[in-house]
Amino acid sequence: MDDEAGREAVDVALTLLAEQGFDATSMAQIATATGIPANEVERAIGTKDEIVLTIAEEMLGSVVKALSEVDPQTPLVEALMTAHSSLLADIINDTGPVSLDRMRRMGKAITSSTDLQKKVGAQRVEILTTVLADRFQTSASDTRVQQGLKLWSAVLAATYLDVLDKHGRFDPGVDEESPDYMRSRLNRAFRIVTGRSIPAT
């Protein structure tokens, strides 16, 4: 399967995961939707976990790059906010590692599964722990790094919770939300969780 066909198959799979819910979607359904034989689909595009975690990793790679451009004197949580805001701006401007539509579908899939949320969170902590320890020239077990990551995870969790309806389901209206509203959700979650003002970018 060439790269373009692979990307299209991943998008089809991601749409299914978003619309039906991550846990409710089987690899057999993904095989049918993509037209890839059931015995080849995992080798061609990966498992359900791999599909989502690969996209999340691409986005985290951009966060790490943006973080390297933030003033080293910037406090950890503010630096993460600046880096994530930069990623969001790039995605909105169609210059990011994924499209806006792909990010939205990934968000829906993640929000639909508690188990997947844990896996994505663990991936984020694993990648960012080393990066932040290097940034502060300290060990990964340093309290500043560990507490900063916990606080940042709470900010992201609050951002995701903001897209749920009163029944705890993904609000379908989020698909039509403006990029400005997407930014405001992240900013609002940052202010509520940290009690701090939004860092200037």
Residue 177: per-residue pLDDT: 66
Beta strand segments in 11-169, E? none
Q: What is the mean pLDDT of each run of 10 residues along the chain (201 residues)?
A: 87 95 96 96 96 96 95 92 94 94 90 93 95 92 93 88 63 66 86 84 58
Residue 26: per-residue pLDDT: 97
CA angle, residues 147, 189, 80, in degrees to nearest 5: 50
Residue 147: per-residue pLDDT: 94
Using DSSP's 3-state secondary structure scheme, residue 139 falls into coil
Using DSSP's 3-state secondary structure scheme, residue 170 falls into strand
Residue 142: per-residue pLDDT: 94
Q: In this structure, how many other beta carbons lie within 10 angstroms of the beta carbon of residue 141?
A: 9
Residue 61: per-residue pLDDT: 96
> Is the torsion defined by CA of 186, 189, 194, 198 positive or negative?
positive
Q: Which H or E element spans position 134? A: helix 114-135
Pick left, alpha or beta for residue 96 (phi over 0 → left; psi -120 to 50 → alpha; otherwise beta). Answer: beta
Count of residues making up the chain: 201
Nearby residues of 149 by Cβ (< 8 Å), 6 or more positions away: 125, 128, 129, 132
Give pTM, 2 decimals: 0.87
Contact 45, 147 (CB under 8 A): no
Helix count and strand count (H, E) for the chain: 9, 0
Per DSSP, what are the bridge partners of residue 170?
Answer: 164
DSSP readout, 28-57? HHHHHHHT--TTTHHHHH--HHHHHHHHHH
Q: In this structure, how many other beta carbons lie within 10 angstroms of the beta carbon of residue 35?
A: 10
Go through the domains of the chain in sequence order and give each one's CATH number: 47-194 (1.10.357)
Alpha carbons 108 and 118: distance in angstroms, whole number: 15
Residue 171: per-residue pLDDT: 62
